[in-house]
A and B are shown apart, each in its own frame.
Chain A
Amino acid sequence: MEWDVRGIVFDLRKYSVHDGPGIRTTVFLKGCPLACLWCHNPESQSFWPELLHRPSSCIGCGACIAACPEKALAPSPDGGVILDRKRCILCGACCRACVADALEMAGKSLSVAEVMATVREDVLFYDQSGGGVTFSGGEPLSQPAFLAALLRACRGEEIATAVDTSGYAPSETLLAVAELADLFLYDLKHMDSRRHEEVAGVPNELILENARLLSDRNVPLWIRIPLIPGINDDERNLCDTGAFVTTLQSVRKVSLLPYHPSGRDKYRKLGRTYALSSLATPSSEEMERAAELLSRSGLSVTIGG
């Protein structure tokens, strides 16, 4: 039975108001084949659960040290704990012991039934506002069976759905999912494939091709373009992006999203370094300029969600 299909989910957010129409719940599926330099959800990239460590919440009680079967945790000189990620087997014992929530597992295995139990709680808000559920990530298409089962479950309960995707997935997977979803939030990061590979880890041909396929089948699309200063905000790329989007027939909305360094802290909690540590949010003038370049081919562009 499909209710038992399981996937790795790293977050479930209610009152999501920037991921599609109306008031929504966003289900974040873990794992992504891309590795965008600016990724603000670094905990979404790996396909496995990961341990988040927030030293600022630690009260130094030592409960985690006692709980860890692998001795991956040790007292630190400042009264907190040191985490040796090489020893950690991600069993989660420390997280259960940590009442301060200074240690937390990002990502857990949930069944369709479990996800739907949360999704269902806010049906009234979807009904009232024309909202629904957005499946985001990571890259939700990287867990295609789980995603399809979730979409079918939503359809069975007449809950509207959106899939927030990078478009980087086998075309047949994408098209199968497209049969089940009401809307795609589709990211376009760079029009030059080589540059795309440099900043996002993969080339863009498949992404552009998939966008065309969705358009040909008249699947409603909201195109979302993150504006990353110095990476994709040059005139040529913005004009090319605009020109490409005008060739797609089923686009309902084009949004330009300002880069935000809000994920910076999460890298630290994961014990990783952030490549764009000195990058600032584009000013509203820069956003206006970029929107103007994008709309030269006749598009109507929204700044922000």
Chain B
Amino acid sequence: MNERVKRLRHLSFETAPSFSAERAVLVTEFYRENAGRYSVPVLRALNFKNLCEKKTIYIGEDELVVGERGPAPKAVSTFPELTCHSVEDLEVLNTRSMQRYLVDPKDVELYRNVVIPYWQGRSMRDRAFAEIPQGWKDLYEAGLFTEFMEQRAPGHTSLDGTIYRKGMLDFKKEIAEARAALDFLNDPEATEKDEELKAMGISCDAAILFAERHAALAEEMAASEKDPLRKEELLQIARVCHHVPAHAPRTFWEALQMYWFVHLGTITELNGWDAMSPGHLDQHLAPFYEAETAAGTLDRDCAKELLSCFWIKVNNTPAPPKVGVTAAESGTYNDFTNINLGGLRPDGSDGSSEVSYIVLEVMDELRLLQPQGNVQVSTKTPDRLLKAAGRVIRNGLGYPSLFNADVVVMEQVRVGKTPEDAREGGTSGCVETGAFGKEAYLLTGYLNVPKVLELVLNNGTDPLSGKKIGMETGDPRTFASFDDLYAAFEKQLAFVVDTKIQVNNYLERMYARYAPAPFLSVVIADCIEKGKDYYNGGPRYNTTYIQCCGIGTVTDSMSVLKKHVFEEKTVPMETLLGALAKNWEGEEQLRLFAFNRTPFYGNDDDYADGIMRRVYDSLFRTIDGKPSTKGDTYHLNMLSTTCHIYFGKKLGATPNGRFAHLPESDGTSPSHGADRKGPTAVIKSLGKMDQIKSGGTLLNQRFLPSVLAGEEGLEKLAQLVRSYFRLGGHHIQFNVVDTETLRAAQKTPLEYRDLLVRVAGYSDYFVDLDIHHQEEIIARTAQEGF
């Protein structure tokens, strides 16, 4: 890290996230003036342009890559047109002990007097909740599922290489051509398409204007700058901002700034889940790096410095805070920009380059919350890259995570994408697969699978509230066999999933109609050609995902029921249900019998793994292929992010010996303490899941640092990963930290402020996690290696 990067990193790390009402006020004023005057897409585009014209522009000392979403680093914009914070929300955000956002009292007043009065009843969230049926609300409140679109716009977007070959002026030309080609005589949608295309054109202008404002500010600053070196840097910044995003970038610097302007544009326009990701950043930058280092206009250190400046820019942009928050619901500042390294080029060749190695060095040196990265490991990926990733992992940051590029391609080809599009795709957010730059692959929420079993065991009643919210699938005491129980589970599952999908589809239409994203649509393939918005089936591919949680918990619970209640009949159903109702109180012997005398998932045991496959198959059949409203279909995804903790809180005691309210198993990992035969057995169990039928699985492994010591430890880690990927694994990630360190960090958090740990599909600062998340990580089985 050079001195400039050190200073920028320090500022980014030390600045506390704050709440900024600037965007909310600008949007409110704009809507008050203009709502109803234009078609919705044009209104959205003009709103975006208004923001680009009026928002505060920031260029900080030392910066080379410029632009912030808010008025200053780590000042977070809000999106009242989607979800409007209440005054109480702002108070909670300002005072809660974890994941706090500083709120200026002036902003509270602006919210109270300007923002809230306009958006109350008008925000997407208010409008949606007014229409949502009670049956859905019952399941939602009981913790059967979550709904992404009630907090933020749908997202999980990553880009392909297009923006490095075309500027906004090129896109404008394409838009004009598409408008000229509209057939108003025969195409009943021509008018709608024209409005959408008009909106896209306005958005291109807005982005150029935003960059020009930065150029002007840089020139102004240069005029009064005393230091000749900095003066030249500022003039260079101005030259870069005059060129991109209007034109395609010509240099490494321009390429990074191009991406950053597009990134800022999309997260200013809307707050789609999972900010935005450049996708295969190393592949996009490699041509610039190679050309410029050959020509002598860039050296490795300069490239690394620019990348570091870019990294810090992403870190300056924390996730927008949720609405309806409680003090306990802290979430994360991470907004999930997840950069892909290595992998495959569209033509199927190895995608790694010197830039991949530079990026890994940057990650290792900066140790920032954002952006996080992953390495896409194909059979063609050199061992050197995997080991370079292993060296960063070994330092205990929890990233990069590792993905199987070949399986990621197969998952996409299975659902009809071309091999080239699939290879240019990858994984974003935590582990979600998509065709970068060509797809809207929207996550709609998590599904609490163990809770479905709980409803079955209570004949449709939620034992926590006593309310009948599910389907009556029969008194479990009357089930004669495990198959009877399983049939009830499948019925209950279908009921819950269908309830969720009905509302998803409704919300999808709401977004398509009232919150289109014309700027994002410009940079996603086929939206211009089709004249359709990103949220309305414009992209080449349009996947809708439901993320299934708790496969470990539900498998182990079913294993207990199958073996002890139905097959060996050692535990009567009545006894087990009684123990669950009492949260195992006075039933420790029965609890340990279940916990220690049952085959569990994660031990390469076909009895348990067979149940896992059966559940997975049911999830697949229930979700995969259901039509969405965008001409495409639903697929399942197997990740939990941190939702396994929330879902656990909403779940009573489970037959696998788990106490009420404790976390469920995360992602596709085994339950806590269930895996007792080491990492190879875990990997074998996971290998039995037909992962290419999902849009992503997630395997957490925690290793003691001693296992990975030395070159040999690194080599064996690499071989473990390669073995998992030979078995068809999608993803694996590691925490390399011992329990003593984590306990010490709990005691003296100030000394461990930059201890990053893997939480779910992302890393977070351990001391920023609440106690539930901290304990959950400590409870994960620590693999020792013998």
Binding site for B on A (CB under 8 A): 13-19, 22-23, 26, 59, 61, 63, 99-101, 121-122, 124-125, 128-129, 131, 304-305
Contact = CB atoms under 8 A, between A and B. Distances in A.
The 10 closest A-B pairs by CB, nearest first: A129-B719, A15-B678, A99-B592, A99-B593, A17-B785, A13-B786, A128-B723, A16-B786, A61-B589, A14-B678
Contacts of B592: 59, 99-100
Given A124-B684, A129-B720, A305-B712, 11 more contacts: A13-B786, A14-B681, A17-B785, A17-B786, A19-B786, A59-B588, A63-B589, A122-B684, A124-B726, A128-B722, A131-B719
A128 B726 contact: yes
B677 interface: yes
A13 B680 CA distance: 10
Given A15-B783, A26-B786, A125 B720 contact: yes
Contacts of A121: 604, 680-681, 684
B704 to A, nearest CB: 11
Nearest to A131: B719
A61 B588 contact: yes
A23 B596 contact: no
Contact of B707 (A17, A100, A124, A128): A17
Interface of A: prevailing SS: loop
A63 B709 CA distance: 44
A131 B785 CA distance: 14
Contacts of A122: 680, 684
A174 to B, nearest CB: 25
Interface residues of B, number: 29
A125 B680 contact: yes
A22 B719 contact: yes
A17 B716 contact: yes
Interface SS of chain B: helix, strand, loop or mixed?
A: helix
21 contacts: A13-B678, A13-B786, A14-B680, A15-B680, A15-B783, A15-B785, A16-B785, A16-B786, A17-B785, A18-B785, A23-B716, A23-B719, A23-B723, A61-B588, A99-B593, A99-B596, A121-B684, A124-B684, A124-B727, A128-B726, A129-B723
Nearest to A136: B786
Contacts of B726: 124, 128
A139 B593 CA distance: 35
Contacts, number: 73
Nearest to B678: A15
A15 B786 contact: yes
A189 to B, nearest CB: 21
A275 to B, nearest CB: 24
Contacts of A19: 786
A101 B673 CA distance: 14
B684 A17 contact: no
B679 interface: yes
Nearest to B785: A17
A99 B681 CA distance: 23
B416 interface: no
B631 interface: no
A14 B679 CA distance: 8
Nearest to B593: A99
B772 interface: no
B597 interface: yes
B716 A129 contact: yes
A246 B711 CA distance: 25
Contacts of A129: 715-716, 719-720, 723
B183 to A, nearest CB: 57
A17 B597 contact: no
Interface string B534-577: 00000000000000000000000000000000000000000000
A128 B725 CA distance: 11
Contacts of B588: 59, 61
B454 to A, nearest CB: 24
A128 B593 CA distance: 37
Contacts of B678: 13-15
B710 interface: yes
Interface in B665-683: 677-681
Contacts of B604: 121
B673 to A, nearest CB: 12
Contact of A304 (B593, B710, B719, B786): B710
Nearest to B725: A128
B713 interface: yes
B390 to A, nearest CB: 14
Contact of B719 (A13, A63, A128): A128
A91 B722 CA distance: 44
A278 to B, nearest CB: 22
A199 to B, nearest CB: 25
Contacts of B596: 99-101
A304 B709 contact: yes
A17 B723 contact: no
B403 to A, nearest CB: 18
Contacts of B715: 129
A270 B163 CA distance: 68
B727 to A, nearest CB: 7
B728 to A, nearest CB: 11
User: Which residue of A19, A22, A26 has the most chain B CB atoms within 10 A of its CB atom?
Assistant: A22
A35 B302 CA distance: 62
Nearest to B712: A305
Contacts of A128: 719, 722-723, 726
A17 B712 CA distance: 9
B276 to A, nearest CB: 36
Contacts of B713: 17
A41 to B, nearest CB: 11
A15 B723 contact: no
Contacts of A305: 712
A282 to B, nearest CB: 15
Contacts of B720: 15, 23, 125, 129
Nearest to A16: B786
Contacts of B684: 121-122, 124
A172 B707 CA distance: 37
A99 B589 contact: yes
Interface in B712-770: 712-713, 715-716, 719-720, 722-723, 726-727
Contacts of A61: 588-589
Contacts of A14: 677-678, 680-681
Interface string B765-786: 0000000000000000001011
Contacts of B680: 14-15, 23, 121-122, 125
Contacts of A101: 596
A102 B700 CA distance: 29
A127 to B, nearest CB: 8
Nearest to A96: B597
A147 B785 CA distance: 24
Given A16-B785, A17-B713, A18-B786, A99 B597 contact: yes
B675 to A, nearest CB: 11
B719 A15 contact: no
Contacts of B681: 14, 121
A9 to B, nearest CB: 15
A61 B593 CA distance: 12
A125 B719 contact: yes
A101 B657 CA distance: 15
A198 to B, nearest CB: 29
B559 to A, nearest CB: 16
Interface in B486-542: none
A128 B720 CA distance: 8
Nearest to A128: B723
Nearest to A305: B712
A14 B588 CA distance: 30
A121 B609 CA distance: 14
Contacts of B783: 15
A100 B591 CA distance: 9
A122 B783 CA distance: 16
B647 to A, nearest CB: 28
Contacts of B723: 23, 124-125, 128-129
Interface string B607-632: 00000000000000000000000000
